[in-house]
């Protein structure tokens, strides 16, 4: 995900992808990944996690080969969805294999290594993509994926033992279809809204359809004996707060990444590597804050540091929402550092709230919801904030006295305007900055609203909801086969 954001401006220039297609190129992966994460984990539990990992790596590698060979943006969107299928099989299978392969005494260290690798892969992906794009085309990012998939596949075949649940729960196929269809309808309607219009029947109908299908999913899951995800778990306020907070933190983060990478390269004129290095100010805030967060939580309780982190996230986005074409790197860093610090403060208590709210036999569900919240939030953030960017860009771009083909290219995307140069590019950059302001202010408002929601959900009562037991199915349900070690 992070690596392709770096390559997106080059992809747009060379494939002539318009702004909506660029959103789909990034979001097709996240949408499919989020939709299939829970059922793919259940498939690994039933048929073998090693087998799921192998199939996922083959799909991911094959999709990357095909993506590296195409120059059609619509084909690339479909192949990104294919990569999402592979990732949905890979992600739950890796952690499930670790928890089932290591003895309990060594499991915590193994899981910590897994978490460190997963967490650091985003930054490493940014830097690797930046380095590749200094010398090669955007296709090199996908060829790099092929190499990684091949190495991982060889390691899996040689070193990873097979494991599966001895008594797996029945697959909730209908629940999986309803969840995927509802999310897909919502995301499709939002991404296409700048093209069709927000009041267009297709947009309103798509949003209404998505909401109705997701309501149907909730009703079905409440009645199903082995639900994919039991909605009654969200009656626990800590579980609900953690799930909501993680979803909206990643909503803001992924949407921000999608917007800012285009700003750095297409407005400031930074190279791909310089743009990737520019974001390293974010870990400067995130790393110490993430170490401080558990200590503050232990002394003050989760509510204060958690809400403060969300407000810092909002403050960072608000600072970045004031960027323009002449902004210095100091201005960018002044937004990135509090943004990173906010995520570092808010993410640990949100993650812990999800797992601590559940009994031991449902820790695998907590792990699955943790992953789902991140991926779903990312998919929605790219869709919503990307749509705000596109809609504002197109409404603010007023070109007169230019050839129709030049105007059409510029209106489709900022990368299209770059080919024209001169006054056309200058106007397009101004329109893009207006879109950036709308998108990042939207992210900041979302973070503030999340802080308020978390503060309300965690407020003290005479009968604390934190102690209210989760209502769970009569029989424990395995959703992804994963265990979180406390």
Q: Is the residue at 199 inside a domain?
A: no
pLDDT at 387 over 80: yes
When divided into structural domains, the chain yields a total of 1
Nearest to 226 by CA among 484, 43, 476: 476
User: What φ, ψ does residue 463 adopt, rounded to 5°?
Assistant: -120, 95
CA angle (471 as vertex; 467, 476 as ends), nearest 5: 120
* Local confidence band at 485 (pLDDT 50, 70, 90 cut-offs): very low
pLDDT at 90 over 50: yes
Question: What is the C-alpha to C-alpha distance for residues 110 and 122, in angstroms, rounded to an integer?
Answer: 20
Confidence tier at 385 by pLDDT (50, 70, 90) = very high
Q: Is 1 helix (H, G, I), strand (E, B) or coil?
A: coil
The answer to whether the CB of 278 falls within 8 A of the CB of 329 is yes
Q: How far apart are CA 240 and CA 229, in angstroms?
A: 13
Residue 200 inside a domain? The answer is no
Question: What pLDDT does 49 receive?
Answer: 83
Tens-digit pLDDT profile for residues 312-336 = 999 999 999 999 999 999 999 999 9
Is 474's pLDDT higher than 80? Answer: no
User: Per-residue pLDDT tens for 25-67?
Assistant: 999 998 999 888 888 888 887 888 889 899 999 999 999 999 9
What is the per-residue pLDDT across 420-444, written as a single tens digit (0 to 9) for each? 888 899 999 999 999 999 999 999 9
Q: Mean pLDDT lowest for which of 251-265, 326-340, 344-358, 380-394?
A: 344-358
The answer to the question of residue 481 being in a domain is no
For the segment 124-138, the average pLDDT, to the nearest whole number, is 89
- Do residues 37 and 88 lie in contact, with contact meaning Cβ atoms separated by under 8 Å? yes
Residue 159 in domain: yes
Number of H helices, E strands in the chain: 17, 0
What DSSP assignment string belongs to 387-424?
HHHHHHHHHH----SS-HHHHHHHHH-HHHHHHH-HHH
Tell me: pLDDT of 100 over 70: no
pLDDT in tens, 57-83: 999 999 999 999 999 999 999 999 999
The answer on pLDDT for 468 being more than 60 is no
Q: Is the pLDDT of residue 109 over 70?
A: no
Mind listing the pLDDT tens digit for each residue in 76-87?
999 999 999 999
Q: Does 265 reside within a domain?
A: yes
Q: Is the confidence at residue 22, as pLDDT, over 90?
A: yes
User: Which of 114-118, 145-149, 378-382, 469-473 is least confident?
Assistant: 469-473
Q: Is the pLDDT of residue 111 over 60?
A: no
Q: Is the pLDDT of residue 365 over 80?
A: no
DSSP 165: -
What is the per-residue pLDDT for 337?
Answer: 96
- Predicted local confidence at residue 113, as pLDDT: 57
- The whole-angstrom separation of Cα 67 and Cα 143 is 9
This prediction has a pTM of 0.85
- Other CB atoms within a 10 A radius of the CB of residue 136 amount to 13
> Over 90: is that where the pLDDT of 308 sits?
yes
Look at residue 115 in the predicted model and tell me its pLDDT.
54
Of 387, 399, 370, the closest CA to residue 483 belongs to: 370
d(CA 465, CA 243): 16
Domain range for residue 365?
2-172+224-467
Q: Which of 436, 20, 386, 22 is closest to 192 using CA atoms?
A: 20
* Domain containing residue 291: CATH number: 1.20.1250.20
In a domain, 215, yes or no: no
């Amino acid at each position: 995900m992070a690596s392709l954001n770096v390559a997106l401006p080059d992809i747009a220039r060379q494939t002539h992808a318009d702004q909506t297609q660029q959103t789909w190129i990034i979001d097709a992966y996240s949408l499919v990944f989020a939709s299939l994460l829970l059922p793919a984990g259940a498939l690994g539990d039933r048929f073998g996690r090693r087998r799921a990992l192998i199939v996922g790596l083959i799909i991911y590698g094959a999709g990357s080969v095909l993506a590296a060979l195409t120059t059609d943006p619509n084909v690339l969107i479909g192949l990104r969805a294919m990569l999402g299928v592979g990732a949905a099989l890979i992600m739950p299978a890796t952690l499930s294999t670790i928890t089932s392969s290591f003895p309990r005494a060594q499991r915590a260290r193994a899981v910590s290594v897994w978490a460190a690798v997963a967490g650091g892969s985003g930054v490493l992906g940014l830097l690797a993509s930046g380095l590749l794009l200094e010398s090669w085309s955007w296709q090199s990012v996908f060829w790099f994926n092929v190499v990684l998939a091949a190495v991982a596949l060889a390691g899996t075949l040689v070193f990873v033992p097979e494991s599966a649940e001895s008594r797996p729960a029945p697959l909730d196929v209908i629940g999986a279809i309803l969840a995927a269809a509802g999310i897909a309808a919502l995301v499709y309607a939002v991404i296409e809204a700048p093209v069709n219009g927000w009041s267009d029947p297709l947009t309103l109908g798509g949003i209404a359809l998505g909401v109705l299908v997701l309501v149907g999913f909730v009703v079905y899951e409440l009645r199903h004996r082995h639900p994919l995800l039991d909605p009654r778990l969200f009656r626990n306020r800590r579980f609900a707060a953690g799930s909501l907070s993680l979803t909206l933190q990643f909503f803001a983060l992924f949407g921000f990444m999608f917007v800012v990478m285009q700003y750095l390269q297409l407005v400031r004129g930074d190279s791909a590597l310089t743009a990737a290095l520019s974001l390293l100010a974010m870990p400067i805030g995130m790393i110490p804050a993430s170490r401080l967060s558990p200590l503050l939580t232990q002394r003050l309780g989760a509510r204060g540091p958690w809400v403060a982190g969300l407000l810092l996230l909002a403050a960072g986005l608000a600072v970045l929402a004031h960027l323009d074409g002449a902004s210095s790197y100091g201005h960018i860093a002044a937004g990135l550092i509090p943004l990173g610090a906010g995520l570092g403060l808010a993410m640990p208590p949100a993650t812990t709230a999800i797992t601590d709210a559940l009994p031991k036999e449902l820790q695998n569900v907590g792990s699955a919801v943790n992953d789902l919240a991140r991926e779903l939030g990312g998919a929605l953030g790219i869709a919503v904030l990307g749509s705000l960017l596109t809609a504002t860009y197109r409404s603010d771009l007023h070109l007169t006295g230019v050839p129709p083909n030049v105007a059409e290219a510029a209106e489709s995307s900022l990368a299209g305007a770059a080919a024209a140069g001169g006054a056309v590019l200058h106007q397009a950059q101004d329109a893009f900055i207006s879109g950036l302001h709308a998108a990042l202010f939207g992210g900041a408002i979302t973070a503030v609203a999340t802080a308020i929601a978390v503060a309300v959900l965690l407020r003290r009562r005479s009968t604390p909801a934190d102690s209210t037991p989760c209502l769970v199915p009569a029989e424990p349900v395995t959703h992804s086969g994963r265990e979180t070690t406390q």
